[in-house]
């Protein structure tokens, strides 16, 4: 393990101390617990948006707390869910009387804890909480009709944060913000490729084995098994393999518009992401799809894992409006055009 840390046990608390020290005007915490991060600025009457999840994915999840995005985030240890008490503390701190919407990724531990936090918020404090669970990784199986979503939540949740965040900032009520978040979820698909493993500091060795000349299409951000492992291909061949499962999963017709996210998993340079983007743009053009907005960079990582993911969101007038809205967090800024 080769990491710039002081000790595995202090890794996340010290990361948080650094984040609060660097962004004292933008971020603060609810009570004494650094794991309960909230926007330092309050907006009376606004629906509160909270997320949460394990650490190791920056800028996911806490990086999207700020103006035009989320109001709070409960932070767990590396790849571990935060506790319901921490989620509840965030919920209480961000409730402005209009209720709170939880938006988080589709993982059992997070679901159980957010559900418990929502019950405690209602039962103990009378705060109305709704939840939207994002799961859009096409490498994991789609749900059977009538079953809850079984897909993992990965980088595409960024689009959900962006649209729901803009809707809440525009003053929409809880049910409407939830509808926008669900609409974004329903229109996002993601697929990833991993070239190397990450290492959880407390474990000290790589989470999975993968040979130097291998890649795995569809691997999850915690090393969940993907669709196909094989020899590393060229950038164009990788994108040619990744694009169809995404495109075939969305109801897209020629002339439709999409927002694009090419996301680095932590150990892959931005240059390579743009080489991938180049090929993806060619494919989208061939399909007659218009790119409305593009995001290229690190939006959801898996520590030092090398690899990337591609997310597409089919957009209509409403989602385009929310996508265009201004956002300002320490980790993500977008100016109104």
Partner 1 sequence: MDAKAFAALLARWAQVMEDNKEELIRLDGLCGDSDLGLTMSAGFAAAAQEAAASEEQDIGKLSYMAGKAMASAVPSTMGTLMASGLMNAGKALRGREILDARGQTDFFRAYYEGVQARGKAEPGDKTFLDGLKPALDAMEAGLSDGQALSPIAQAAANAAQQGYEQTRGMLARHGRMAIRGEASREYLDPGAAVAALLVRTWADQVTGG
Around 293, how many Cα atoms within 13 Å sit in the side-chain half-sphere? Answer: 20
131 binds partner 1 (CB under 8 A): no
Q: Which of residues 151-180 bind partner 1 (CB under 8 A)?
A: none
Q: Which of residues 37-76 bind partner 1 (CB under 8 A)?
A: 76
Judged by CB, which is closer to partner 1: 76, or 153?
A: 76
Contacts of 98 (CB under 8 A, 6+ apart): 45, 46, 47, 48, 173, 174
Question: How do the residues of the chain divide into helix, strand and coil, expressed in percent and rounded to 5?
Answer: 30, 25, 45
Judged by CB, which is closer to partner 1: 35, or 279?
A: 35
204 binds partner 1 (CB under 8 A): no
Residue of 14, 43, 83, 130 interacting with partner 1 (CB under 8 A): 83
Cα separation, 161 vs 320, whole angstroms: 14
Contacts of 61 (CB under 8 A, 6+ apart): 51, 52, 53, 73, 75, 104
Cα separation, 283 vs 21, whole angstroms: 44
CB of 109 to partner 1, least distance (A): 5
Torsions phi, psi of 139, nearest 5? -75, -25
The crossing angle, in degrees rounded to 10, of helices 270-286 and 235-247 is 50
81 binds partner 1 (CB under 8 A): yes
CB of 112 to partner 1, least distance (A): 4
Around 167, how many Cα atoms within 13 Å sit in the side-chain half-sphere? Answer: 24
227 binds partner 1 (CB under 8 A): no
Catalytic residue among 23, 29, 43, 57: 57
Helix spans in the chain (H): 11-22, 84-94, 108-125, 157-169, 174-186, 235-247, 270-286, 317-324
106 binds partner 1 (CB under 8 A): no
122 binds partner 1 (CB under 8 A): no
CB of 135 to partner 1, least distance (A): 15
Judged by CB, which is closer to partner 1: 113, or 309?
A: 113
Cα separation, 44 vs 67, whole angstroms: 13
Judged by CB, which is closer to partner 1: 83, or 96?
A: 83
- Identify the three-state secondary structure at position 133: strand
**The two structure tokens encoding residue 280:** 């993806």
31 binds partner 1 (CB under 8 A): no
Residue of 48, 53, 72, 84 interacting with partner 1 (CB under 8 A): 84
85 binds partner 1 (CB under 8 A): yes
Judged by CB, which is closer to partner 1: 81, or 311?
A: 81
125 binds partner 1 (CB under 8 A): no
218 binds partner 1 (CB under 8 A): no
State the greatest distance between any 2 C-alpha atoms of the chain, in Å, as a whole number: 55
Q: How many helices (H) and strands (E) does the chain have?
A: 8, 14
CB of 15 to partner 1, least distance (A): 18
- Cβ-count burial of 50 within 10 angstroms (0-12 exposed, 13-18 middle, 19+ buried)? buried
Residue of 40, 116, 170, 235 interacting with partner 1 (CB under 8 A): 116
Clarify whether 23 is annotated catalytic: no
How many chain residues bind partner 1 (CB under 8 A)?
Answer: 18
Residue of 53, 59, 82, 307 interacting with partner 1 (CB under 8 A): 82
* Binding region for partner 1 (CB under 8 A): 76, 80-86, 108-109, 112-113, 115-116, 120, 123, 148, 225
Report the catalytic residues.
Answer: 57, 222
């Amino acid at each position: 393990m080769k990491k710039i840390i002081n000790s595995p046990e202090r890794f996340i608390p010290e990361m948080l101390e650094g984040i609060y020290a660097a962004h004292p005007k933008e971020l603060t915490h609810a009570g004494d617990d650094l794991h309960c991060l909230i926007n330092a600025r309050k907006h009376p009457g606004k629906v509160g948006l909270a997320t949460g999840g394990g650490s190791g994915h920056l800028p996911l999840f806490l990086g999207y707390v700020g103006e035009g995005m989320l109001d709070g985030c409960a932070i767990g240890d590396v790849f571990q869910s935060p506790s319901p008490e921490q989620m509840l503390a965030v919920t209480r701190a961000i409730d402005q009387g209009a209720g709170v919407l939880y938006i988080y990724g589709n993982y059992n531990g997070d679901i159980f804890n957010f559900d418990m936090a929502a019950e405690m918020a209602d039962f103990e404090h009378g705060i109305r909480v709704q939840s939207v669970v994002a799961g859009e990784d096409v490498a994991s199986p789609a749900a059977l009709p009538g079953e809850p979503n079984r897909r993992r939540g990965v980088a595409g949740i960024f689009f959900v944060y962006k649209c729901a965040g803009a809707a809440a900032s525009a003053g929409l009520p809880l049910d409407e913000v939830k509808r926008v978040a669900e609409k974004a979820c329903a229109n996002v698909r993601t697929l990833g490729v991993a070239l190397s493993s990450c290492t959880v500091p407390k474990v000290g060795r790589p989470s999975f084995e993968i040979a130097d000349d291998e890649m795995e299409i569809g691997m999850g951000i915690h090393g969940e098994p993907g669709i196909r492992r094989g020899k590393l291909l060229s950038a164009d061949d990788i994108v040619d393999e990744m694009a169809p499962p995404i495109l075939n999963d969305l109801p897209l017709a020629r002339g439709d518009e999409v927002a694009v996210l090419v996301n680095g998993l932590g150990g892959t340079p931005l240059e390579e992401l743009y080489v991938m983007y180049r090929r993806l743009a060619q494919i989208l053009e061939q399909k007659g799809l218009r790119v409305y907005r593009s995001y290229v960079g690190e939006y959801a990582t898996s520590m030092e894992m090398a690899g990337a993911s591609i997310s597409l969101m089919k957009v209509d007038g409403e989602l385009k409006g929310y996508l265009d809205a201004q956002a300002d967090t320490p980790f993500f800024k977008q100016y109104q055009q």
